[in-house]
Structure 1
Amino acid sequence: MRETVTTTQTIANPTSHYGDAKASTRHFITQRTTGAINTVFLGLLLFIVVRLAGQDRTDVADLIGSWWIGIPLAALICVVAVHMRNGMRDTLEDYTHGAMYRLLMLLNSLFCLLVAVAGAGAVLKIVFWG
């Protein structure tokens, strides 16, 4: 299999196709959307932190166990994990190539999935099962 060598002339030529336009656009929109959602949810997170300052474990479980705090907090954890995956993807695209790139992208996706499932699962367990 022959690999295509990308040169400055290829990139500068407006008629050449460089990269996957649909995937790049989707990545751009996802990164901006998750960033905006994180900004909106920052108010909820600040409320939780201020409300729980100096409280014991029972008060923490009671506040996070209420559905109107716990469910948005679980959603926030999932959105943050998607945003984290996209941010690390940018770094991996810049500094790794070939088989190492594919391996690190797989590990990045698996780690972010693990963070989302563990974090949201812990919060939802408190919400639904106390």
Structure 2
Amino acid sequence: MSDKKISYEQIANPKSHYGNARASTRHFITQRVSGAVNIVLLALTLFIMVQLAGEDRSDVVELIGAWYIGLPLAVLIAVAAIHMRNGMRDTLEDYMHGKTYDLAMLLNTLFCLLLGALGIIAVLKLVFWG
């Protein structure tokens, strides 16, 4: 984000061009695709959770450790982390500016990366090492 001020007249004029159109389009598409993938994978996860209701821990670990359940779950965690980062980015863009914005975006990215990596590692550990 640049430090150049954008006036109301520039925003209100539909013929003015400001911002990065390519990055904005990529962000828009990423948000929509990750949302659609989340819906599909969360439906699968909900189905699995209903099936496992009342089972003990060993049965749950055994099912999540199956590659056909664990790998889609790891993909869900990755896509959810990407979707979370983009959603939090939208809020940060609205309320923060300058150096505070840069720091908040860095912390947002690191938080989502850490959370996604820990979740994926936990699931893949169950899949590959029991």
Distance between the aligned counterparts of 2:122 and 2:63, measured in 1?
14
How big is each residue's C-alpha offset from its partner over 1:40-77, in whole Å with a ceiling of 9 and x where there is no partner? 11221112211221111100111000000000000000
Contact 2:77 2:119 in 1 (8 A): yes
Aligned-partner Cα distance in 2 for 1:115–1:5? 35
Amino acid at match of 1:38: N
**Identity score, percent:** 65
Letter in 2 for 1:31: Q
In structure 1, the residue corresponding to 2:68 is in which secondary structure? helix
Match of 1:38 in 2: 38
Which residue matches 2:98? 98
For the residues of structure 2 that align with 1:95 and 1:3, how far apart are their CA atoms?
15
Aligned positions of 1:5-20 closer than 5 A: 5-20=5-20
Equivalent pair of 2:31/2:83 in contact (CA under 8 Å): yes
Task: Output one character per residue of 1:13-34: Cα deviation in whole Å (capped at 9) or x when no partner.
Answer: 3332211101100000000000
Stretches of structure 1 lacking an aligned partner (at least 5 in a row):
none
User: How many equivalent pairs are there?
Assistant: 129
Q: Which amino acid aligns with 2:84?
A: M
Q: CA RMSD in A?
A: 1.3
**Over 3 Å off, 4+ runs:** none
The residue aligned with 2:111 is 111
CA–CA distance in structure 1, aligned partners of residues 46 and 5 of structure 2: 49
* Whole-angstrom CA distance in 2 between matches of 1:66 and 1:110: 30
In the TM superposition, 1:22-101 aligns within 5 A as 22-101=22-101
Distance 2:93 2:14 in 1: 22
Stretches of structure 2 lacking an aligned partner (at least 5 in a row) = none
* TM-score (normalizing by structure 1): 0.94
Distance 1:11 1:89 in 2: 20
- The range that moved more, 45-54 or 112-121, is 45-54
Q: TM-score, structure 2 length as denominator?
A: 0.94
